[in-house]
Each structure stands twice: as structure tokens, then as C-alpha cells.
């Protein structure tokens, strides 16, 4: 039988919270230690390719410039360029409080969101996420805090990051608002979300899956394997990405992003490069022509085995 070589659909944008958002997001976790001028250049570059979903977190900056520093830097940009705020769909996260490490108590989540608003110099975030699950806070208490943030107008919507499917379901059972976002790690190298039910659950509930580290912390762009084993598997994955990139006249990082964009769950990869040129070149992912054979070739290389 002749394989189906029909190109897979890759949309450039989608509707979210009654807004049009780009299928690429920009993450601010590497802002601390850079300049305010560079922040402007990076946000402008992201917006120029339609990446208007801007992701940050209270913890970004801890261990270096300081807790909350990424939000503070983004807040200065928002203050200086107030007209740009309405172009953004702003996402932040709370619940990590070193050295505990996690605290999702109602008081802390509320205080965390309020502190984020001050640092961001805005009166609301579009989405507030629980950054990581806290085993010592009941889902009912977390739900109460999230619902209150939405009712107060401090957050238009809420969601979770790094939650399992069962943790997500448990939290949702106590919420009177939907979990609008789930934010797991997803890349062509770390693709557990494709098999552990996370993306299936996102499709079933209509939540938006935002993929953190979509290029495996840059490894899929540089070709330098992350720490740990799997040398041959990684080499095979890079080989497949390079083959598709050559056929498309593009780069392997654009192919790796296109691979995520082609999934029907509507994955929004969070790109985190500090180079405005590379931010802009990420839009090349929309020009990649993938078919089912290509997509599964990448998946099989990542798994290290053929599909059954």
C-alpha cells in the first residue's frame, strides 16, 4: 500500500479565552541577568511572529538575580510599553516557594498571584497556573483559591503545570471554573505526554497544552545530547530531524517545533531562546511540510523502537 504523503495541517493560530493566539509562545525564564533593552527586543520579536502568549513565573530568577526577577523585568516592559499589554495573553505561575519547595495553600497561592501582579505592573493575568503539585495541600483548598482568583478578576483563567492526568482530574472535580491550561514538558526527545494520557485529556476537556522545553533545553537545536543515557537513540532522532529539515530547506529546530504543532491537541510550544533572530526564525516551523510518515519517523526515533 502506498503511504499517505498528504501534508499534516499546521495552524498558525487558534482561539483561546476569546482571543486569537499564536501557536508559538514565548517564555521569560531566562530574562534574569539580561538587560531591559534585550527584553524589549525579545518581546517585540515574539509579537512579530504572532507569539503573543507570554509565559513567566514567580520563581524565575531564584538562585540568580532573585525570586520574581523575570516578572519584574517583564513588568518594566509592560509599564514602559502599556499599549502592548493588550496584545499579550499573559501567563504566570505560583506555588514554588524555596526552600519548602512547594506551597499551594490557599493563602500562598493568593499572595503569590497578588505579588506577581505587582511585579508585572498589571491588574490581572490572563492565566494563573499552579507551577507544580503540592502533596500537602488538598485539591479542594487549591480549587478554592483558584476559583477566588478568577472571581476577583485577578486571573481571567487558571490551569496547572507539571500535573499528572489524575491530579488534574482531581483538582477539576472541586473547581467551578475549567482548567484552561496544562503545561507539561513535551518535545521530540521527551514525549511522554503523548502516551501518558495528558494530551488525550487536554483534547477531551478543551484545555490548552503549553509545551515547556519544546527543544529539550536547546538540545534539538544544537544536536548536543542532554545528560543521561540514550546516546544512540538521540543520534537517531537528530538524524531523522536533519533528514526532514534538509527536505524542507530549513533547520532541525523548526522541524522539531513543527512536529509538536502537527499534533491534534493544539500544542503551543514555549520557545525560550534569548536571540531575537532565532525567535523570528522559529516561525519557519509553520512552513515545514510534514506527512504521517515523517511524523511517525520522528516519534519512533524518539522512542527507540518501531510502532507495534
The catalytic site residues sit at: 60
Place of cell 480549587: 143
Rg (CA), the chain: 19
CB 282 within 8 A of CB 227: no
Grid cell of 60 as nine digits:
524565575
Grid cell of 228 as nine digits:
543521561
CB 108 within 8 A of CB 146: no
Pairing of strands 268-271, 208-211: parallel
Residue 12 CA to residue 19 CA, distance in Å, equals 14
CB 48 within 8 A of CB 280: yes
Amino acid at each position: 500500500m502506498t503511504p499517505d504523503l498528504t501534508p499534516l495541517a499546521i495552524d498558525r493560530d487558534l482561539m483561546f479565552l476569546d482571543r486569537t493566539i499564536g501557536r508559538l509562545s514565548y517564555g521569560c525564564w531566562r530574562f534574569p541577568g539580561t538587560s531591559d533593552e534585550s527584553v524589549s527586543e525579545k518581546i517585540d520579536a515574539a509579537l512579530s511572529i504572532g507569539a503573543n502568549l507570554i509565559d513567566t513565573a514567580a520563581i524565575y530568577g531564584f538562585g540568580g538575580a532573585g525570586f520574581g526577577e523575570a516578572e519584574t523585568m517583564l513588568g518594566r516592559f509592560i509599564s514602559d510599553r502599556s499599549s502592548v499589554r493588550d496584545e499579550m495573553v499573559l501567563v504566570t505561575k505560583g506555588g514554588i516557594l524555596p526552600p519548602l519547595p512547594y506551597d499551594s495553600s490557599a493563602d500562598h497561592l493568593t499572595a503569590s498571584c497578588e505579588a506577581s501582579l505587582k511585579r508585572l505592573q498589571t491588574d490581572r493575568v490572563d492565566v494563573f497556573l499552579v507551577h507544580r503539585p503540592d502533596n500537602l495541600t488538598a485539591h479542594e483548598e487549591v480549587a478554592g483559591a483558584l476559583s477566588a482568583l478568577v472571581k476577583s478578576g485577578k486571573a481571567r483563567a487558571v490551569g496547572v503545570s507539571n500535573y499528572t492526568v489524575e491530579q488534574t482530574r482531581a483538582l477539576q472535580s472541586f473547581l467551578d471554573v475549567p482548567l484552561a491550561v496544562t503545561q507539561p514538558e513535551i518535545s521530540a526527545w521527551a514525549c511522554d505526554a503523548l502516551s501518558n494520557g495528558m494530551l488525550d485529556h487536554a483534547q477531551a476537556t478543551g484545555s490548552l497544552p503549553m509545551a515547556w522545553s519544546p527543544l529539550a533545553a536547546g538540545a534539538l537545536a544544537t544536536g548536543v545530547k542532554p545528560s543521561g543515557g540514550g546516546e544512540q537513540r538521540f543520534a537517531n532522532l537528530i538524524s531523522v530531524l536533519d533528514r526532514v529539515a534538509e527536505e524542507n530547506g530549513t533547520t532541525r529546530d523548526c522541524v522539531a517545533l513543527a512536529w509538536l504543532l502537527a499534533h491534534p491537541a493544539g500544542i503551543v510550544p514555549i520557545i525560550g531562546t534569548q536571540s531575537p533572530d532565532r525567535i523570528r526564525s522559529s516561525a519557519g516551523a509553520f512552513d515545514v511540510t510534514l506527512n504521517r510518515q515523517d511524523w511517525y519517523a520522528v516519534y519512533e526515533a524518539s522512542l527507540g523502537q518501531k510502532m507495534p
